[in-house]
Amino acid sequence: DAGVTQSPTHLIKTRGQQVTLRCSPKSGHDTVSWYQQALGQGPQFIFQYYEEEERQRGNFPDRFSGHQFPNYSSELNVNALLLGDSALYLCASSLSFGTGRETQYFGPGTRLLVL
């Protein structure tokens, strides 16, 4: 049973560039959430996708956008990169029964460094 997978594992970009991160959910899961984890901090919720729509968004600027595909995989796009966007980006998948009650399972993350 494949778990959550993410690509790439590491990425180096320069300020002002754009980046796309990818996530495939755990088999049978239909919901994908994205989190940003700065060094030494807990993960912060970016947004969640369900049925190819953004269902909820955290306190992140519009530079952060996403997409969910019919096969439930997802992309996170960040435009106009800032130094402060350097972080570990975690994708989590779950099976949607309703709000809050689903356990989210995380992938290995993508480490983004912005120079």
Partner 1 sequence: AQKVTQAQTEISVVEKEDVTLDCVYETRDTTYYLFWYKQPPSGELVFLIRRNSFDEQNEISGRYSWNFQKSTSSFNFTITASQVVDSAVYFCALSEATDYKLSFGAGTTVTVRA
Q: Which is nearer to partner 1, 25 or 107 (CB)?
A: 107
Considering only CA atoms, which of 51, 36, 42, 53 is closest in space to residue 92? 36
Site for partner 1 contains 103 (CB under 8 A)? yes
Looking at residues 53 to 72 of the shown chain, list those that interact with partner 1 (rule: CB under 8 A). 55-56, 58
Q: Which is nearer to partner 1, 5 or 73 (CB)?
A: 5
If you write DSSP's letter for every residue of 23-82 in order, what string do you get? EEPPTT--EEEEEEE-TTS--EEEEEEETTEEEEE-S--TTEEEEE-TTS-EEEEE-S--
Q: Which is nearer to partner 1, 39 or 71 (CB)?
A: 39
- Judged by DSSP in three states, 83 sits in helix
Shortest gap between Cβ of 16 and partner 1 (angstroms)? 26
CA triplet 88, 89, 92: central angle to 5 degrees? 130
Contacts of 62 (CB under 8 A, 6+ apart): none
Per CB under 8 A, the list member of 32, 87, 92, 114 interacting with partner 1 is 92
Looking at residues 20 to 49 of the shown chain, list those that interact with partner 1 (rule: CB under 8 A). 33, 35, 41-45, 48
Binding residues with partner 1: total (CB under 8 A): 26
Which residues contribute to the site for partner 1 (CB under 8 A)? Answer: 33, 35, 41-45, 48, 55-56, 58, 88, 90, 92, 98-101, 103-109, 111
